[in-house]
Amino acid sequence: LKGDVRIALVGFGNVGRRFASLLLGSYGRVLKERGVRAHVTGIATGRHGSAIDPRGLPLARCLRLVRSGGSLGAVNRGGPLASSRVFVARVPADVLVEITPLDRRGGEPATSHVRLALKRGLDVVTANKGPVAFAFKELTGTARRHGRRFLHEGAVMDGTPVFNMARYCLPGVRVLAFRGTLNSTTNLILSRMGRGATLREALREAQALGIVEADPTDDLDGWDSAVKGCALANALMGADARPGEVRRQGIGGVSPGRVREAARAGKRVRLVVRGDLRGRRVHLSVRPEGLPLGDPLAGDGPDTALLIKTDLMGEIGLTELGGSIDQTAYALLADLLTLFPNDQGVR
Ligand SMILES: NC(=O)c1ccc[n+]([C@@H]2O[C@H](COP(=O)([O-])OP(=O)(O)OC[C@H]3O[C@@H](n4cnc5c(N)ncnc54)[C@H](OP(=O)(O)O)[C@@H]3O)[C@@H](O)[C@H]2O)c1
């Protein structure tokens, strides 16, 4: 697949719109250098309509329409689109980019979108951790059977290469364990509590920065971390874990006093997600821990970090500094470039 490539976006919110505007600029140039001319032939949303145009949608106009609260129906040439599933079943595309909101209870409708697209013979790229946390084995199997790829770099730590590092840079290596501070909201809140803020005040600050999930309990109760832990265990360690099975404790019970007391003892409280391979099972947990200040996971502020313990390559650490929507959009570009390696096979 090189030359003209048709891309369909299901979800056109913060990530989708940022990705689309970069596609009009630097991303479009990078893809062209790979010999790929990208055309967005379909966009589906929840409340802003959906549109298909087999010749390519007017992307700048789509962005203006959705930003002004209008409906994509104004540029639809693809007949009535009753639901996002109908859209995925019908859109003329080579790649589906799945960026609808996370449903931490079951990973839907994203998992159905991914499954349907793979069965139709589309490659799938997603930043949605739901399908990776709830159906990784099934979806990678479906992709294999249909000769397609299911790529999901943006599901954990935005564009920081977690999955691609393991997949392409650590051949022959087994991941034995990981531990991470992967939720920027709780990282920020616990930092602010260390400086005297209450949980409620710190949450308001995180919300003003736009980093909190639509339902804050997804962050505070450790659900986001549990979903990310499952995504890592499933994709890096061959597990078939589900978020409901993770031993999970959030930060609701952590008082500013406990955070300051830890600080006096030279520690920082962080919500840590752990995965440990014991026998053939990966044990997953999420809970607040007091980490020594020198611990790579004990950074100050919202930055996320992950340590991966391996059999042949010791322990590897990754930190994402100043993560933003740009890094998430980059994850989608990185996955697209993986689908279209250059002549030397370089991804
Ligand atoms: N934001 C980040 O920094 C970040 C980082 C890493 C990963 N992610 C993941 O990336 C995904 C997208 O995040 P986001 O921040 O862009 O979310 P968002 O701003 O809430 O946008 C979600 C988009 O999905 C649409 N949508 C909702 N339900 C849909 C459905 N059933 N069918 C089709 N479209 C539907 C929404 O349409 P309406 O607005 O019209 O309802 C909207 O266009 C999520 O899974 C998130 O967890 C986000």
Q: What is the pLDDT of residues 184-233, one digit of tens each?
A: 999 999 999 998 899 999 999 999 988 888 889 999 999 999 999 999 99
The residue-averaged pLDDT of 26-42 equals 96
- Interval between CA 290 and ligand 1 midpoint (Å): 33
Nearest CA to ligand 1 atom 31: 46
- Interval between CA 269 and ligand 1 midpoint (Å): 30
Ligand 1, residue 13: give the atom nearest the CA.
21
**Which residue, 126, 127, 131, 122, is CA-closest to 95?**
122
**137 labelled catalytic:** no
84 CB under 6 A from ligand 1?
Answer: yes
pLDDT band at 89 (very low <50, low <70, confident <90, very high): very high
What is residue 303's predicted lDDT score, i.e. its pLDDT? 95
- Interval between CA 98 and ligand 1 midpoint (Å): 9
pLDDT band at 155 (very low <50, low <70, confident <90, very high): very high
Ligand 1 pocket mutation, candidates 157, 328, 330, criterion most atoms within 8 A of CB:
328
Ligand 1, residue 83: give the atom nearest the CA.
32
* Residue percentage of the chain with pLDDT more than 90: 92
- Please confirm whether the linkage preceding 109 is cis (ω < 30° from 0): yes
81 CB under 6 A from ligand 1?
Answer: no
What mean pLDDT, rounded, does the chain reach?
Answer: 95
Ligand 1, residue 214: give the atom nearest the CA.
20
158 CB under 6 A from ligand 1?
Answer: yes
Options 32, 228, 267, 309, the catalytic residue: 228
pLDDT of residue 1 exceeding 60 = no
Ligand 1, residue 324: give the atom nearest the CA.
3
78 CB under 6 A from ligand 1?
Answer: no
Q: What is the secondary structure of 222-272 as a DSSP string?
A: SHHHHHHHHHHHHHHH-----GGGSEE--STT--HHHHHHHHHTTEEEEEE
Residue indicated by tokens 């600080």: 263
Ligand 1 pocket mutation, candidates 45, 72, 207, 218, criterion most atoms within 8 A of CB:
45
Q: Do 188 and 328 meet the contact criterion of CB atoms below 8 Å apart?
A: no
pLDDT band at 346 (very low <50, low <70, confident <90, very high): low
14 CB under 6 A from ligand 1?
Answer: yes
What is residue 343's predicted lDDT score, i.e. its pLDDT? 74
CA distance 129 to 231: 7
The residue-averaged pLDDT of 53-59 equals 97
Give the CA distances from residue 246 to residues 161, 224, 323, in Å, rounded to whole numbers and listed in that order.
24, 11, 26
Nearest CA to ligand 1 atom 7: 127
Q: What is the pLDDT of residues 233-242, one digit of tens each?
A: 999 999 999 9
* Residue percentage of the chain with pLDDT more than 70: 98
Q: What is the 3-state secondary structure (H, E, C) of 106-150?
A: CCCCHHHHHHHHHHCCCEEEECCHHHHHHHHHHHHHHHHHCCCCE
Higher confidence at residue 343 or residue 94? Answer: 94
pLDDT of residue 125 exceeding 90 = yes
12 CB under 6 A from ligand 1?
Answer: yes
- Interval between CA 346 and ligand 1 midpoint (Å): 30
Ligand 1, residue 213: give the atom nearest the CA.
47
What's the pTM value of the predicted model, to 2 decimals?
0.96
- Interval between CA 99 and ligand 1 midpoint (Å): 5
CA distance 254 to 108: 31
- Cα within 13 Å of Cα(312), Cβ side: 7
What is residue 347's predicted lDDT score, i.e. its pLDDT? 66
Q: What is the pLDDT of residues 270-321, one digit of tens each?
A: 999 999 999 989 999 999 999 999 999 999 999 999 999 999 999 999 999 9
100 CB under 6 A from ligand 1?
Answer: yes
pLDDT of residue 245 exceeding 90 = yes
